[in-house]
Structure 1
Amino acid sequence: MQSTLLNDYEFRMHHKDLGAVWKLSTYLLENIPFEKEAISFFCIGTDRSTGDALGPLTGSLLSESILFPFPVIGTLEDPLHALNLQQRLDDTLTINPSTYIVAIDACLGKSDSIGDLLIQSGPLYPGKAVGKDLPPIGDISIKGVVNVAGFMEQAVLQSTRLHLSFEMSRVISRALQLSYSRFQNK
């Protein structure tokens, strides 16, 4: 979970926008090098907080798809969180130092941005919203604004509706699967 400035993103849309999955898949198809030998998807968060479950929900949906052949680190069953993030990152980069990492996490933002998906080149900074000092992660970052930043972030995360995290994770996972399918059909 990270806090965020919403003006610094290359791609931004609401998860309920008409054609959201297609639009997001188009952006991801243009910006994720699916032809690369090593790509991993780091789905950051925990199943113990509804607001921070976006990453593990997305990871579970991706890992259940037989048509999505990439390593997915972080699911509801085996979350990727503050206590294991550095070790999982080190393990991945030890196997292949040139692994392209797609990082997925929830974030907090302004009230009128709740439900937005934010994508940028470069890493995200997990745990920033709750004052944790974790390593930056990702060659490209996908974030979902799940609630409001600014006051009592832990309580805000605990009171976030699971339905929002779930719906956003479905859009992200479907868009990633579609972008890979479109890549294969080029």
Structure 2
Amino acid sequence: MNLKDKFSNEERRVNIDEATMSDTLSVYLNEWLPPNKEVVIACIGTDRSTGDSFGPLVGSMLNDQNLQTFHVYGTLEDPLHALNLKERVETMNKEHTNPYILAIDACLGKATSVGSVVLGKGTLSPGSALKKDLPPIGNLHISGMVNVSGFMEHVVLQNTRLHVVMQMAAKVAAAIQLADTERRRAKLEASPVKAFTAAAKKDTMLNPAELRMKDSL
């Protein structure tokens, strides 16, 4: 859970009430995400707090999709939180070569900002809303403004409406899925022969029953 009371020119903001929020956010993501780097999505938070469940909810929703250009860490089942963040970041760096990290976390801010989703360049500071000293994370970040800051943040998080968090998480997950589709399309256009060869190689790895099922579709 991070804290945001100011906005900069290095940020893009959308609101969950906007009908085209997911489409707009996906366009921003594809403008800023490097097309040829391995992208890791770090969904930070915990299912033990309604307000802080935004990140893991996004992670679980993405984990159910067949994403091909993103690697997801942090779900409701296996959350990425204050107690394991440093260790999990080390794991990310071991499993992926110089990954580009998109960090996703819930955020507290001004009352007028609740319901907004902010895409920003650079790191975010998880735990800052609760005065926790955790290492900054991310080359790019998404902050979901779930409630207001300034007084009894622990209580505020526990009393955040789940409906708001769920709606926000669903729209952010949809935006990332749209971005994944566009990134796949761009890669295919850039190297159609390589993409076709990779798909053919994948087919040769299927067993006969799987091949028959694939052909019948």
Q: Give the alignment's TM-score, normalised by structure 2.
A: 0.82
Superposition RMSD in Å: 1.2
Give 1:141's aligned residue.
141
For 2:88, what is the secondary structure of its paired residue? helix
C-alpha displacement at 1:184, in angstroms? 1.9
Any idea what the Cα deviations from partners look like across 1:11-38, whole Å, max 9, x if unmatched? 01112212111100000011112421x2
**How many Å separate the matches in 1 of 2:157 and 2:170?**
19
The residue matched to 1:57 in structure 2 has which SS? helix
Please give the residue correspondences for 1:11-90 in structure 2 after superposition, counting only pairs within 5 Å.
11-36=12-37, 38-90=38-90
Match of 2:201 in 1: none
1:98-150 Cα offsets, whole Å, 9 max, x none, are 11100000000111110000111101000000010001000001001000000
Can you list the C-alpha shifts for 1:52-97, whole angstroms capped at 9, x where unaligned? 0000000000011024453211000000000000000011113335
The aligned residue for residue 7 of structure 1 is 7
Find the aligned partners of 2:85 and 2:162 in 1 and give their Cα distance: 23
**2:184 matches 1:184:** yes
**Structure 2 Cα separation of the partners of residues 102 and 45 of structure 1:** 14
Counterpart residue type for residue 63 of structure 2: S
Give the length in aligned residue pairs: 185
4+ runs of 1 displaced by more than 3 Å?
none
1:149-160 alignment to 2 at 5 Å? 149-160=149-160
Q: Which amino acid letter does the alignment assign opposite residue 81 of structure 1? A: H
> Tell me, which stretches of 5 or more residues in structure 2 are unaligned?
187-217
Task: Check whether the contact 1:68–1:177 (CA below 8 A) recurs between aligned residues.
Answer: no
Q: 2:55 & 2:145 partners in 1: Cα distance?
A: 12
Q: Distance in 2 between matches of 1:112 and 1:68?
A: 36
Say if 1:44 and 1:80, in contact at 8 Å, map to a contact too: yes
Q: Structure 2 CA distance, aligned partners of 1:68 and 1:97?
A: 16
1:120-135 correspondence to structure 2 within 5 Å:
120-135=120-135
What is the deviation of 1:5? 2.3
Q: Is the 8 A contact 1:129 1:149 kept in 2?
A: yes
Larger radius of gyration: 2
The answer to whether the 8 A contact 2:4-2:109 is kept is yes
2:121 matches 1:107: no
SS at match of 1:183: helix
Separation in 2, partners of 1:72, 1:139 = 15
Q: How many angstroms does 1:179 deviate by?
A: 1.0
Q: What percent of counterpart residues are identical?
A: 46
On the 8 A contact 2:50/2:157 being kept in 1, the answer is yes
Q: Which has the higher contact order (CA 8 A, sep 6+)?
A: 1
The residue matched to 2:14 in structure 1 has which SS? strand
User: Gapped runs of 5+ residues in structure 1?
Assistant: none
Equivalent pair of 1:34/1:180 in contact (CA under 8 Å): no
Q: Which secondary structure state, in structure 2, belongs to the residue aligned with residue 150 of structure 1?
A: coil
Secondary structure at 1:146's aligned position in 2?
Answer: strand
Matched residue, 1:162? 162
User: More helix by proportion, 1 or 2?
Assistant: 2
